[in-house]
Amino acid sequence: MPAATVCGLANGLPSVSVLPPSTSGHARAYPAESQTIQVRTGFRFRTGLRLLGGLRFITGLRFVRGFTTAGGFGSRFAALLVVGGLFSAGGMLGGSVASAETSGAAAAQISPVAVPVPPEPMQAPEMSVGQDELVVRSTMLEREQRWADVVAICETAARKGTLAPEVLQRYDLAKIHCDLGRRHCEQAFRKQLSRLAETDARRLYAEVLGRISSHHVEAPQFSRLVSRGCRTMDVAIDDPTFVSLYAPQATPERRAVYRDQVARITAGRTITSPVEAETLAAWVARAGHATLGIPPAVTLMEMTAAAVGGLDEYSAFLTNGQLDDLYAQIEGNFVGLGVELKSADDGLLVVHVIPASPAERAGIRAGDHLVGVGGRSIGGMNVDEAAQLLQGPEGSVVTLAILRAPAPARAVTVRREHVEVPSIENVRILDPAMGIGYLKISSFQKTTAADLETALRRLDVAGMRSLVVDLRGNPGGLLSSAVDVSDLFLERGLVVATRGRSPEEDFNYSASRPGTWRMPLVVVIDGDSASSSEIFAGAMRDHGRATLVGTRSYGKGSIQGIFPLEVGGVGMRLTTAKFYSPKGLPYSRVGVEPDLQVQSVARPAAGVFVAQAGDPFLDAALEVARRTVAARPVAKPVSRTTASR
């Protein structure tokens, strides 16, 4: 086994207040007149939110492949801010826009800070050996129509902007296949779609195009959005599930006629406005109805979903169920089993069991394989199909086939119950002699800041003199939560700034409340620490408040607004802005670099600290905390209570 070493490197947010429009007309600077906000706890979500996403729930389950969002304000909604991690076609969940109730904090004044112009999207570099392998593997998977696997192997590179154009097209096609299957395996979505009139579907398409036009972080190319919608319909008319539901006349001959008609409709047309895009989509919908019997509302809904999904790596169309899941995610509770899952060849792998959940009481453990649900094998089934089988009302029971090698599969009956999802975990004193406390923030939820303060008081009573905050694997969450958490450790100053194409997205979030916790901090990050995690880590770094240990963070620096739409009970996640550190540094595709880089090497290098325990990240953090605890005695917090927040 390689020895773990730590190599030194140079040093390089519970509720959001309702945000009035910024008076700044500049999206690339921190002008003095930009809106500065001080946040307080107490969310009441009903109509709009801003996300830095990353929490990954699917109706009572939690899937490893999550989503990322961060926010925006529509003309009619105050948006909830979520800054979050990573999602994939196998486990995306939705979001919504929510209004927020606040305690009426006054805006803090800050000095203007220059923000560098964010880098242009990276062009695909020349093909390297790794990219050559990606081309070969994705080509093979495409031939086998293993679309979810194409997404899985390409997603990270796509988000970092390093996919070659050939692979990028294949990746987008795979996403279309996966998104199509996900939408139409959801019963609630199918039910709503069956009742949707053509006029309402056209109004929905127009609403989405309008929001894209006014709020997307980049100026939209409507021709490309319509083209992707047509491509989605081209995929749909060959999909057996879609055809059985909506295309009763889809014979090979009629498919050919339909494709010819769509080609004639779109040939030579340049679409430069939402109105032109809506008109062309209506023509395509009529062609689908006349030749294949597809209800026009179905075609318009598919073109709506395709338009949002083709904007960038984080914008997405959200079905009815995905919106409901996001509400549960933000609240930090849901009805379900209480397990975190990811795909496996024989079904689903249990990655984590939520403490005190029905799954834990039933004896399910991390590492177990879920191979059957209700007497039905789920081997080879996609995540969304499995999720449908696991869903159910509170109080109902489900029988699971659990495999724990080397024993054979056994039947376990679990009752679906209300489950609280903690965002603060493993609170303890790591080194009683030195007074080093430890806690893990697994996500940034509605109650994270209040729960964190409760944990800090417990540690304070236990003799804490220094604190290790573990953000590894934290994909993000609420932007406001990241700001509130940062405010617990900062006396004043900028925490994060957001800048978008629309001036309505320009905000400076500031910390200024008294009673700050002043103990020395060590923050642990890794490549899966994203969005809200990066906001917290970046703020601690820029203010010199903590030592960062680990590996460079993910680099997800954009904000998605989650908006419920007026028709059909569906919603959209729309990238509306990017966010920057207090010193004006970008996060997108850059991440946060740690002060101490943790590496595993074959032999310990001369002159470096060698970690002896099984967790080199935690070893490094402990070493830093032990060196600093005597130098900076902690001051007790003053007038800092949950009620005051």
Closest CA to 202 of 308, 305, 317, 297: 297
d(CA 545, CA 201): 51
- In a domain, residue 640? The reply is yes
Domain with 372 in it: what CATH number? 2.30.42.10
Q: Which of 88, 343, 531, 588 is catalytic?
A: 531
Give the count of domains, the chain.
3
In a domain, 175, yes or no: yes
Whether 377 is catalytic is no
Tokens for 285, please give them. Answer: 């919908």
Shared-domain flag, residues 128 and 144: no
The per-residue pLDDT for range 425-465, each reduced to its tens digit, is 999 999 999 999 999 999 998 899 999 999 999 999 999 99
- The answer to whether residue 531 is catalytic is yes
For residue 196, is it within any domain? yes
My answer on whether 342 and 381 are in the same domain is: yes
Answer with the one of 321, 343, 360 that is the final residue of a domain: 321
Question: So what's the pLDDT on residue 633?
Answer: 53
Do 409 and 280 have their domain in common? no
Q: Are residues 186 and 310 in the same domain?
A: yes
Identify whether 569 is part of a domain.
no
In a domain, 563, yes or no: no
Q: Are residues 587 and 529 in the same domain?
A: yes
What parts of the chain have a pLDDT lower than 50? 1-49, 53-82, 84-129, 602-612, 634, 637-645
Q: Are residues 298 and 180 in the same domain?
A: yes
Could you count the other beta carbons within 10 Å of the beta carbon of residue 583? 16
Catalytic residue among 542, 581, 595, 619: 542
Concerning whether 487 is annotated as a catalytic residue, the answer is: no
Closest by CA to 591, choosing from 625, 642, 519, 541, is 541
**Are 400 and 411 spatial neighbours (Cβ–Cβ below 8 Å)?**
yes
- Rounded Cα gap, residues 313 and 161, in angstroms: 10
Residue 349 inside a domain? The answer is yes
Residues 512 and 537 in one domain: yes
Q: What pLDDT shows up at residue 174? A: 96
For tokens 């059957």, name the residue. Answer: 372
Please state, as a whole number, how many other Cβ atoms lie within 10 Å of the Cβ of residue 556: 33
566 part of a folded domain: no
Q: 204 lies in which domain range?
A: 136-321
> Same structural domain for residues 416 and 426?
no
Domain of 501, CATH number, reads 3.90.226.10
> Which pLDDT belongs to residue 389?
86
Q: How far is CA 255 from CA 155, 179, 283, 367, 480, in A?
A: 31, 21, 16, 46, 49
The two structure tokens encoding residue 453: 């303060």
Q: Are residues 367 and 254 in the same domain?
A: no
Q: Assess whether the previous peptide bond of 116 is cis (omega < 30° from 0).
A: no
pLDDT of residue 432: 95
Catalytic residue among 533, 556, 578, 595: 556
